[in-house]
Structure formats: structure tokens, C-alpha cells
Amino acid sequence: MPTSALLLVMMFAINLSAQVNQWRPIRPLEEKHVFVNSGKPGSEPSVVTFIKDTLATPIYKLECHSGDYPDDSEINFSGDFQCALFAVKGRYLRSGDLLAPATDRLNRGRMHAAQLRAPCLDYPEYSTLRHFKLRGMLVTLGFTDPRWRSGKLIGFTLTLSATPDESAASPTPEHVAGPEPPASCYP
């Protein structure tokens, strides 16, 4: 192989490696939250947690609330429950909601009660288990144990996790395979 071709291949490999490793590695995170809506003020489901780098510095804020969350926040939460992920530096946001890029018209970070029932359960990544592969990590949201009263969702368990994933090189979640759910799953 000529020297110039070898040099070009090496530069490409270095550039590709830099793109894959441009995100700071994270510490694994796993949390479980059980929500039961009593209908009383202040009983709305709410989670704020931080994903930290390997030096224990918070680099992402994961915030989840009910759609009628009454407090000020970075975004207006909607649906029955919504999670948003923000890059942070200190106390300041450095990004918009990373779970809802402009290319994701359905916003898989937002959960509607209909998505926890048939026929919406037939659409992986849009119902009870959602994976977001981005920025050197895999963020997973799991919705289990839905509780219903008179056909209305009154509780559920949220399991959230973030694990390092060197193959996740995109700044926003990679597109998920499979068909999109019908409009009835996104009322």
C-alpha cells in the first residue's frame, strides 16, 4: 500500500475513533419509582436524577413528570407522563430535550396511557420498554405494573437506566426499527 493511502486510512480511523469517543463515559445508573396518583395536589409523578461521568460529575439531567406538572421546568411536560434528557454543565442546561429530537415526531420520551394497553403493546419501543441509544450510552425507560381505575391510568412503575455503550455515537437517539404505532396510540 502506498504511503499516502496508508496515511489516509490512518487519518480516517483516528477521525472515526474520535467521533465514537467524543462523549464522556458515564457511570451506570438504575432507578425504580412506583407512582400511585391519589388525586391529591402534589401527588403527580415526578423524577429528577442525574447521569454522571466516571468522575461522578453530573453531565445529564433526566427529568420525568406528569403532563400536568404544576412547577416551572425547562419544558412543558405533556402526555400522561414524560421524560426528558438534558446535557448539563454545573447548574446550566447545555441542550434541549435529547429524547425528543426534531426528527422524532412521536416523542418516545412521552408516555400516553393508551400505550400501556393493546393494541399499542404490539409496537416495540413505543409502549412499555423504550431504548434511546445516544452519546455513548443506552438510556432505557420501562413502564410496568399499570394500575387502572374506571379505565383511567392511576399508577405505574417506572424503571430507568443508563449504561455505557461505545457504539452509541449519535448526538440524538438512533432511529428505532419497526413500524410506527397508529395514531390511536398517540391521542
Task: Using the CB atoms, write b or e for 97-123: b if 16+ within 10 Å.
Answer: bbbbbeebebbbbbbbbbbbeeebeeb
Is 19 in a helix, a strand, or coil?
Answer: helix
Cβ-proximal residues to 53 (8 Å cutoff; 6+ apart), any chain: 24, 25, 26, 27, 59
Give the span between the Cα atoms of 121 and 101, in whole angstroms: 23
- Per-run averaged pLDDT (10 residues), the chain, 187 residues: 46 43 92 80 78 97 81 73 93 91 79 94 94 97 95 94 96 89 89
Sign of CA dihedral 47, 157, 183, 125: positive
Q: Phi then psi for 45, rounded to 5 degrees?
A: -60, 135
pTM: 0.83
pLDDT digits (tens, 9 = 90+) for 132-169: 999 999 999 999 999 999 999 999 999 999 999 999 99
Q: Where are the domains of the chain?
A: 3-185
Whether residue 176 contacts residue 167, with contact meaning beta carbons closer than 8 Å, is answered with no
